[in-house]
Amino acid sequence: MIVFYLDRGSGVSTYLQLVHQVKHALRLGLLRPGDQLPTAKEVVTQLAINPNTVLKAYRELERDGLAEGRPGQGTFIRRSLGEASASDRARLSEELSAWVNAARRARLDQEDIEALFASALNASFRRETA
């Protein structure tokens, strides 16, 4: 089950943080179709937020076709994001971790690494659409 957290200094609205965390978990394979999301009451208790905020996030996930509410049962994941297999994800995660460790050994800080990664990612997608 996913455990939500909030970054109150991020400038991103609370409901969008919840939506992004679910989508992130789907992309990483941490949530799968059929998995149940925490109840609104559980999230409210955990994060000390308004119940309507949780319901708004869940409604957005439903509109995106990622989740479905089942009356009296809760909210469940309908579909995943991304098409990579679990083994491909694991291999790529290991390769990326090795690259990040090499970048840190080269004394790059987090912002340097993020900039390099974003640049490579953007260049890759520009080539793909060209």
Q: Is residue 8 part of a domain?
A: no
62-117 tens-digit pLDDT = 999 999 999 999 999 999 887 778 788 889 989 999 999 999 999 999 999 999 99
The pLDDT, as a whole number, for residue 1 is 81
- DSSP-based three-state secondary structure for 32: coil
Report the domain count for the chain: 2
d(CA 7, CA 30): 20
Whether 69 and 90 share a structural domain: no
Domain boundary among 77, 97, 117: 77
Q: What's the mean pLDDT when you consider all of the chain?
A: 93
Segments forming the whole domain that contains residue 114: 86-129
Using pLDDT thresholds of 50, 70 and 90, give the confidence band for residue 130.
Answer: low
CA angle 6, 41, 20 (to 5 degrees): 35
The pLDDT, as a whole number, for residue 125 is 86
What are the CA-CA distances from residue 50 to residues 3, 46, 74 (Å)?
17, 11, 18
